[in-house]
Amino acid sequence: MKCALVTGGSRGIGRAICIKLAAMDYYVLVNYKANEEEAEKTMSLLREKGGNGELLKFDVGNKEQVTQVLGEWIEKNTENNIDVLVNNAGVKDDVLLMWMKDEQWDSVINTSLNGFFYVTKLVLQNMLMQKYGRIINIVSLSGLKGLPGQTNYSAAKGGVIAATKALAQEVGRRNITVNAIAPGFIKTDMTEGLDEKQLRSLIPVSRFGEPEEVAHAVGFFASAESAYITGEVLSVNGGMYS
């Protein structure tokens, strides 16, 4: 059974990625932190399209939860390896640095950067033994160019970008690729408070992206055909920045 784990898979980009990987015949492990209703909806949509999978509830930024829940799944499924890992979980808490509270910095860094470390380290062990794997990190335009009010988010995503490039060099000999996808403005819960009409002037294609457009890029990196591409960051931002 081909398995794929998507962190933060209950909504938005994560949901679209889960559905895409299910369409590619992966058994999808849909991780979520708290919103069980939305996670169940993702699973229903996935199954409606002929896919299958299961829910895994844990906070990626909590090492104990990752070890307990994900570690237990890996131990119980020795014949079902996770071939594809999509580190998608992330949170935003925007404010200028001069007014940023310690907890606003910590929560954003912990989810995106520490979460990447905790989950990837655990999943990587079997990939190394199997000599195959696809690790895909969902980062952000903010991590490439920096955005005002997002010093914490830019630092977290920028850190994952650097980690992507470093890890790709560590595991390439084992037929494991590590790439990142940097979305720009995508129509999700994270951007619903933004004025799309006002921001269109900044985007060469003059619109926000769809979650499915990010998921399509994930599908490419998850495929066997992308074996000679690693350590790359693919921008999905309508031409805003590369």
Point out which residues pair with 235 in neighbouring strands: 182
Q: Which of 26, 27, 118, 153 is catalytic?
A: 153
- 120 neighbors 112 (Cβ within 8 angstroms): no
* CA atoms of 125 and 27, how far apart (whole Å): 19
The conformation of residue 33, written as its DSSP 8-state character, comes to S
- The shares of helix, strand and coil residues in the chain, as percent rounded to the nearest 5, are 50, 15, 30
DSSP state of 3: E
C-alpha distances in angstroms, 23 versus 20, 173, 222?
Answer: 5, 29, 12
Query: Phi and psi at residue 236, in whole multiples of 5°?
Result: -120, 80
Sequence-distant (6+) residues with CB within 8 A of 140 are 90, 153, 154, 157, 182, 183
Is residue 26 flagged as an active site residue? no
The set of catalytic residues is: 153
